[in-house]
Amino acid sequence: MGRFSKQMKNKITGIINDMADHAELFSENHGHDFTRERSLNFRTMVSLIMSIGGNSLTKELYDFAKNGGKEVTPSAFVQQRDKISDEAFAYLRWTELYVHIAAMILTTSICLTLETASISIMSMLFIIS
């Protein structure tokens, strides 16, 4: 994995960890969901969902267990997934996009003023959406 890829992975992991520290803000039932420590806690669920490829859910969960995660049933996964609000993934998507754009600007050594950088980022977000 290249240096840029590692940096992006670390940034996204950091974002997920920050979100997990405030999981109540990203759950359907605030103050109720993700309050107990489970095999599929908020951090694990978001990371797992982000890593799912094109295989069946059973195969994805099998691969998850094979790579060090705890073996869980598709039913348990779906129950935990339903506790995560849509806003969690919207927040992650926009934060991830912002980090990626900022990293691209920094790695290409473009000298922009803060105002110009903000305008550039907002323009890119408008084009993407």
Specify the DSSP class assigned to residue 41.
Answer: -
What is the spatial distance between Cα 33 and Cα 83, in angstroms, rounded to a whole number?
A: 6
Show pLDDT as tens, one digit a residue, over the chain (129 residues).
Answer: 677 778 777 888 888 888 888 888 888 877 777 766 777 888 888 888 888 888 899 999 998 888 888 888 999 899 988 898 888 888 887 776 666 666 666 555 444 445 455 555 555 555 554
Identify the pLDDT of residue 123.
54
Calpha distance 120→107 (Å, rounded): 15
Total-model pTM: 0.67
For residues 45 and 81, the answer to whether their CB atoms sit within 8 Å is yes
